[in-house]
Amino acid sequence: MEHAKAKKATALRRGVVILVILAVLTIVEYFVGVSFNSAWLLLLIALIKAWVVLQYFMHLPRVFSAEGDH
């Protein structure tokens, strides 16, 4: 039972970290769009955000792992 609680706490902590990372990137994206008007920089930030979403929410590392690693 204790192991399940620790696993849930770790997952929650990781989710909050991902939320903060995406929020910070969104704020940076807004200020870059308003201040610099640089399409390349906006594209780079969007790609970083997409990578974070793919890694965390779509569980891509598990897709390419060995069959027994769940």
pLDDT digits 0-9 by tens, 24-43? 999 999 999 999 989 999 99
pLDDT at position 51 over 80? yes
- State how far the Cα of 24 lies from the Cα of 27, in Å rounded to an integer: 5
Domain ranges of the chain: 2-63
Q: Quick: pLDDT tens for 11-21.
A: 899 999 999 99
Instruction: Select from 58, 56, 64 the least CA-distant residue to 14.
Output: 56
Confidence check: pLDDT of 45 > 60 = yes
Determine the Cα–Cα distance for residues 47 and 70; give it in Å rounded to an integer. 28
Kindly state the tokens that stand for 48: 């970083």
| Spatial separation of the C-alpha atoms in residues 34 and 11, rounded to whole Å | 35
